[in-house]
Amino acid sequence: MSSIKDAGSWLEPVWDKLAGKINGKAMSLGKIEHEILRSMGEPRIHMAIVCASLSCPDLRHEAYRADILEDQLQDQTLRFLQNKAKGLKIEGHEIFVSKIFEWFKDDFTKYGGTEAFIRQYIDIPGDVILKPVITYNWDLNGD
């Protein structure tokens, strides 16, 4: 298997397969992401969840914990945005960002949109063009 997508098929993507049970209810990765995590209204979750592909945010070396979750999400978001191969790359007056920001752009509206969200973490010039075009590499990360 060279990609997380290889764990599924066209008819049954890996995201739709049974991943386990939560409170006795069958759950897929897609349900966990879209119905549980995203419904919390916290867009930084996209920098915390990892699908094992090279372009995903890096896996933390510690578990997420309620008592320090705010600090962990802040740190994880900053780390992802500082990663020029995955999160954000500035070239002249263009900013290239992860496809995550395109796929889930509605999740960032509570911060005023993707650009406003990014400006909370990274000092970027005012006259830039935001482009969600860092190619997403679905190959397994191997870590």
pTM of the predicted model, to two decimals? 0.83
> Could you report the per-residue pLDDT of 45-85, keeping only the tens digit for each?
999 987 777 888 998 899 999 999 999 999 999 999 999 99
> Could you report the per-residue pLDDT of 2-30, keeping only the tens digit for each?
766 656 667 777 777 887 898 999 988 88
Whole-Å CA distances, 80 to 36, 85, 87:
22, 9, 5
CA of residue 66 relative to chain centroid, distance: 19
DSSP state string for the chain:
--BGGGGS-SSS-GGGSEEEEETTEEEEHHHIIIIIIGGGT-GGGGGT---SBTTSPPPPSS---GGGHHHHHHHHHHHHHH-TTTTEEEETTEEEEETHHHHTGGGGGGGTSHHHHHHTTS---TT-EEEEEEPP--BB---
